[in-house]
Amino acid sequence: MPQMNMVSAIQDGLRLEMAQDERVVVMGEDVGALGGVFRVTAGLQKEFGQERVIDTPLSETGIVGTAIGMALNGLRPVPEIQFGDFIYPAVDQLISEASKYRYRSGGEFACPIVVRVPVGGGIRGGHYHSQSPESMFIHTAGLKVVCPSNPFDAKGLLLAAIRDNDPVLFFEPKRVYRALKTEVPEGDYEVELSSCKIVREGTDVTVLAWGAMLLEALSAAEEVRSKDISAEVIDLRTLWPLDVGVIADSVRKTGRLVVVHEAPKTCGFGSELISLVCEKAFVHLEAPPRRVTGWDTPFPYTLENEYLPLAHRIVPALIETARF
């Protein structure tokens, strides 16, 4: 099986689906000749032509609004937003339109678009190239939100997302893009949407993470092993709709919960995850659930490693929660 990084795995998924489904079009700023600023779409325009790999004008509302229109007329657009931080000009189209089209039309129309969005910090990008905007989209009924942590899941989730009939926000952790290679099957496969994965089994504390922070959670879990703490790490993979059963079962087993995310703490997805666990497994909790997150400040440039909830901040949270 070939080894791929996340950039190649996503590209492989796009290439595969474009070859077998001519309704799929890729569009966005610089996705054509350049192949995207992260080179995820490199080579696709050469292969599939300018009508299927489209360099658009610089307008996120233009990109998402026209993608919705294309989807309404039978295509399967996969628009790219160059950085998650620049998705805001398109939020009207996402929050007021894509999310509600099915509902407001009584199911007459659907918006099968997959908006690919590089997100997250750790690339020295300051506030406008580092943010993690998942919460606002999870909060919007009608959108699916996906965030893979590794190349294998990235390709499989992307294929599942493109074939899904609802609008999907596909968040790609930039920090992971070229950070690791894993085995990625060459052909077709899907990773089911709304399926969490227990990536490390443990008995003392459940750790929830996704995207780039999954790796941090894993290295923290490894580090606390020497302190006789056995952490169970769950990769959410799809943030919404959530596979809450796996999470609740895990907490019933461990009795303890730590959630890790890059986005600011307040109204971050961690708040929702902890509420859900309290609703479903309160009597099993043996310690207050903990959040290890970005601070409630804009994302800073120089001090980004103090901002991010990296392993050095996860470790003490695991120890304190396990020993509470």
Stretch that binds ligand TPP, among 12-20, 68-76, 82-90, 187-195 (CB under 6 A): 82-90
Residue number, 63 or 157, with CB nearest to ligand TPP: 63
Which single residue brings its beta carbon nearest to ligand TPP? 86
d(CA 203, CA 208): 14
Continuous H helices in 23-173: 44-48, 60-72, 91, 101-104, 134-138, 151-163
First CA to last CA across the chain, in angstroms?
A: 44
Residue number, 30 or 243, with CB nearest to ligand TPP: 30
In the complex, minimum distance from the CB of residue 84 to ligand TPP, in angstroms, rounded to a whole number: 11
Name the catalytic one among 129, 261, 284, 312: 129
For tokens 């052909």, what's the residue? 187
Stretch that binds ligand TPP, among 81-89, 172-180, 252-260, 264-272 (CB under 6 A): 81-89
Max Cα distance, the chain (Å): 59
Select the binding partner of residue 201 from other proteins, ligand TPP, none (C-beta < 5 to 8 A, by kind).
none
Helix-helix angle 244-254:269-281, to 10 degrees: 60
> Is the distance from CB of 77 to CB of 113 less than 8 angstroms?
yes
d(CA 314, CA 39): 32
In the window 5-64, what residues touch ligand TPP (CB under 6 A)? 29, 58, 60
In the complex, minimum distance from the CB of residue 129 to other proteins, in angstroms, rounded to a whole number: 7
Q: Of 72, 23, 74, which Cα lies nearest the Cα of 52?
A: 23
> Is the distance from CB of 256 to CB of 204 less than 8 angstroms?
yes
Q: Of 107, 46, 54, 43, which Cα lies nearest the Cα of 79?
A: 54
> Is the distance from CB of 270 to CB of 259 less than 8 angstroms?
yes
Residue number, 63 or 138, with CB nearest to ligand TPP: 63
Select the binding partner of residue 181 from ligand TPP, other proteins, none (C-beta < 5 to 8 A, by kind).
none
> Is 86 a binder of ligand TPP (CB under 6 A)?
yes
Footprint on this chain of other proteins (rule: CB under 8 A): 29-30, 32-35, 37, 55, 57-59, 61-62, 85-86, 88-89, 124-129, 265-266, 295-298, 300-308, 310, 312-313, 315-316
> Is 89 a binder of ligand TPP (CB under 6 A)?
yes
> Is 295 a binder of ligand TPP (CB under 6 A)?
no
Q: Of 42, 80, 86, which Cα lies nearest the Cα of 63?
A: 80
Residue number, 82 or 293, with CB nearest to ligand TPP: 82
For tokens 């998924």, what's the residue? 13
**Which sequence positions are flagged as catalytic?**
129
Which residues of this protein are in contact with ligand TPP, per CB under 6 A?
29, 58, 60, 82, 86, 89
